[in-house]
Amino acid sequence: MTTRKLAVVVLAAGLGTRMRSSMPKVLHAVAGKAMVNHVLDAVAELSPDRVAVVIGPGMTQVEAAAAPHTTVVQEERLGTGHAVMAARPALGDLADDPDADVLVVCGDTPLITPAALHSLREARDERHGLAVLGFQAAEPGSYGRLIRDDGGDVARIVEAKDATTEELAVDICNAGMLCVGAPLLFRLLERVGNDNAKGEYYLTDVVGLARTGGEHCALRLAAESEVQGINTRAELAQAEAAMQTRLRTRHMRNGVTLVAPETVFFCHDTAIAPDVIVHPHVVFGPGVSVGEGAEIKSFSHLEGATLSAGAVVGPYARLRPGAMVGEGARVGNFVEIKNASLGRGAKANHLSYLGDTEVGEEANIGAGTITCNYDGFGKHRTTIGAGAFIGSNTALVAPVRIGAGAIVGAGSTVTQDVPDDAIAVARGQQSNRDGAAKRFREMRNAEKAARKTTSAKG
């Protein structure tokens, strides 16, 4: 394992015009996280001494996403070599340190793994002044080709637009990432020209220049899916699919049952304990934690929610940020919870909305219950005590407290606190008028017949 210091340059200045988006390319999300942050997370596993993110002019959103890392503005987009040179001042004394390496990575490769980056860095050894990361492409297309010598080292990198027919037949392609001894890298970049089809300063030219100077360039191969760059919406969708496959596999290896894995969608930070069962067509947004033995039934959507051990959610449940479902508690079909907690064993099984609410242990929330938490100006809380029973089709107008063991009659609109163990009924007085329904029907039928007679005479 190398003991050299490490500086990392992340290339993130691309506009991503083929994305047809006003948002910078590297901010588009995969599994709920911006592409550039996936890359920075992978880089962090290498414990770099310094990280510099190269951005374009006006990319304040990318600057914010990359924080606390240093960002450097590439004022003119003159190629990848020019971008790395723009980052040099941000690397400080590491740029001239003979015991330091510079690792250059792409900000639009969200599937890159720490293992691939570790392998690339280890390839830059005493014999090899630099190392590049490549992959065997199923369809090489417009990728740069890695041309190797008889010993397997990289002799040069040729961009597709500049390649000969023979070079285009090579299927070992450039992933756009390399590791170079720091002083060597910047000496080589000073010699890079722009006499090519794009008129740009290619970072890849340092390989040929290094070989001319007697340096060797090692090659490390990664899976094509790991180094996939994102330039279009279609490629973004492909990356999402690959990431979801990776996340599903990870959760199943950790003891989670996915009844139909291909229908479940995870966020990058979804945390699920062993022996959880996830049924088909469940979506996890950011910030979800699920305790051991919980069960999430089909067509449920969870975001910013915490489920304790043994909780049961769904089907067709929506848990919004701040939802907390206690041990053994149940959230049933067409129930929405936001900034609300259900205590141990509590139940809200049907057609309810609980917002800004605390539900005590073993309380039962009847079908159609709504906590009216917003008065048009502010949010207010509802507290429901342990063991309380809320009848169907009840509106609890916050702020209000329902005491422990209390019962609220079905159809009530509750605007005042209910004491412990009390029964509250808040609805209009029922009045029965004997025979009124029959008289009503006779009257309406007579009116209908009269209209028909009038119409026939006309």
CB contact at 8 A, 112 and 38: yes
Mode of pairing for the β-strands spanning 100-106 and 172-181: antiparallel
Q: For residue 346, how many other CB atoms are within 10 A of its CB?
A: 26
> Helix 182-189 crosses helix 80-91 at what angle (to 10 degrees)?
130
Cα of 36 vs its chain's centroid, Å:
12
What is the structure's pLDDT at 196? 76
Detail the residues annotated as belonging to a binding site for acetyl-CoA.
367, 373-374, 392, 410, 427
The interaxial angle of helices 35-44 and 114-123, nearest 10 deg, is: 50
Contact call for residues 394 and 408 (beta carbons, < 8 A): yes
Torsion angle, CA of 416/420/421/422, rounded to 10 degrees? -20
With residue 230 as reference, give the H or E element that holds it: none
Element (H, E) at 401: strand 400-402
Report yes or no on whether pTM surpasses 0.85: yes
Tell me what pLDDT residue 188 has.
95
Q: What is the pLDDT of residue 195?
A: 82
**CATH code of domain 5-227:** 3.90.550.10
Per-residue pLDDT reduced to its tens digit, 152-202:
999 988 888 888 999 999 999 999 999 999 999 999 999 999 887 788 898
Spatial separation of the C-alpha atoms in residues 309 and 292, rounded to whole Å: 5
CATH topology of 5-227 equal to that of 233-424?
no
Pull the structure tokens for residue 387.
Answer: 């063991």
| Stretches in the chain below the pLDDT threshold 70 | 1, 458
Burial of residue 219 (CB within 10 Å: 0-12, 13-18, 19+) is: middle
Looking at residue 458, what is its pLDDT?
66
Catalytic sites, residue numbers: 350
| In the chain, where the domains are located | 5-227, 233-424
Q: Which residues of 394-428 are buried (b: 16+ CB within 10 A; e: fewer)?
A: bbbbbebbbbbbbbbbebbebeeebeeeeebebee
Question: Which positions make up the binding site?
Answer: 11-14, 25, 74, 79-80, 108, 144, 159, 174, 231, 320, 338, 353, 364, 367, 373-374, 392, 410, 427
The predicted pLDDT at position 385 comes to 98
Q: What is the tally of helices (H) and strands (E) in the chain?
A: 9, 37
CATH (residue range 233-424): 2.160.10.10
Nearest in space to 115 (alpha carbons), one of 34, 226, 32: 226
Binding-site positions for Mg(2+) = 108, 231
pLDDT per residue over 201-234, tens digit each?
Answer: 989 899 999 999 999 999 999 999 999 899 999 9
Q: What is the pLDDT of residue 26?
A: 96
Binding-site annotation: residue ranges for UDP-N-acetyl-alpha-D-glucosamine: 11-14, 25, 74, 79-80, 144, 159, 174, 231, 320, 338, 353, 364
